[in-house]
Amino acid sequence: MRDTICRYYKVKEIRNIDISEERRGRLMFIFLTKKEISAFNREIAGGLSPSAVMHQYKRILKRLREDRRFSKGWEKESTSIMSMIKGRPQ
């Protein structure tokens, strides 16, 4: 999933939060991994603490509830990424 997200946002990695595409990619990775795979926080962490992963996930959910415009864009991006993943042969 990480590689697909990097391709979608056209970045090599999703660690540098100072680059907006990498930050967005990292947040999307956390969101989709928790939502679609139900992975443990320590499995998702990748440089973050497990509690930081949960904190980020909760912030994303809160923003999705409160910001309709953000929610629509986020849904479009997440759907595109998941279709890229599901479109691949397993």
Give CA–CA dist 74/13, Å, rounded. Answer: 20
Q: Give residues with Cβ within 8 angstroms of 36, minimum separation 6.
A: 1, 82
Looking at residue 73, what DSSP letter applies? H
pLDDT computed for residue 90 by the predictor: 38
Going along the chain from its start, the domains and CATH numbers come out as 2-86 (1.10.1750.10)
SS (H, E, C) 10-72: CCCCCCCCCCHHHHHHHHHHHHHHHHHHCCCHHHHCCCCCHHHHHHHHHHHHHHHHHCHHHHH
Q: Give residues with Cβ within 8 angstroms of 19, minimum separation 6.
A: 11
Asked whether residue 2 carries a pLDDT value surpassing 90, the answer given is no
Residue pLDDT, tens place only, 36-83: 888 888 888 777 889 998 999 999 999 999 999 999 999 999 998 888
Q: How confident is the model at residue 19 (pLDDT cuts 50, 70, 90)?
A: low
Q: Confirm if 24 and 34 have CB atoms less than 8 A apart.
A: no
